[in-house]
Amino acid sequence: MNLFNKPIVSLQEKATDIRMHFPATSWIVFVSLVSAIAALLQSAGGTIPVAGMCISPFSTLPVIVMTLISLLYGLYTYTLTIILLVIIQPAEVLIFTFTTGMLGIGLGLGFNKLKRRLFIALSGCIFLFFGMCIMLYGLSFPLFGADFPYSRNSILLPGLFLFSLAYSFGWTELTLLILKKRWNIK
């Protein structure tokens, strides 16, 4: 993995081709279906005891793909998934809103607007980092449990940033791998 390689030049072209291939009414239905899939994947964390924690991070992928195709469709997917989670699994709403969904929007924007893997991963990292900071310090949501010290003077913020960066790099590579296979891009 070379951080400064262009991921795929034709990725934006392929997204544009897919967007232009279907009429607007088809996209409304498709956004609804993808949002339902994302909501089900995210709700697995609260529904299935152990395996659900491994399944729920995959709710990022539908948001990434829809944001890559169109920023508007990505935002629709993000918003509709939040609404569905309020109905299906209210305990997962904050987690999706400020972590999983924010990462999807950030990486989708990165894939759509930026050319280098490093910058794509950094865009996702920034969205995820600020989402986690809002949860920790704005909403006082205990991300790591109630017994974990959440002082602003500790090593927590650099640790969160490094985790966000590593997690975003992982999602960048996984998304590229899936899109290469699914969209038949060489």
- Per residue in 108-127, pLDDT tens? 999 888 888 899 999 999 99
Asked whether residue 160 is domain-assigned, the answer is yes
pLDDT at 2 exceeding the cut of 70 = no
How much is the pLDDT for 8? 55
From 93-102, 136-145, 147-156, 161-170, the region with the lowest mean pLDDT: 147-156
Q: Global pTM?
A: 0.87
pLDDT at 40 exceeding the cut of 90 = yes
CA distance 46 to 91: 7
Q: What is the tally of structural domains in the chain?
A: 1
Tokens 């659900």 found at: 52
Range of the domain at 25: 10-182
Instruction: Please report, in angstroms and rounded to a whole number, the separation of the first and last CA atoms in the chain.
Output: 16
CA distance 64 to 1: 20
Contacts with 75 (C-beta within 8 Å, 6 or more apart), sequence order:
67, 105
Asked whether residue 99 is domain-assigned, the answer is yes
Buried-state track 50-62, b at ≥16 Cβ within 10 A, e below 16:
eebeebbbebbbb
User: Which CATH number belongs to the domain containing residue 49 in this structure?
Assistant: 1.10.1760
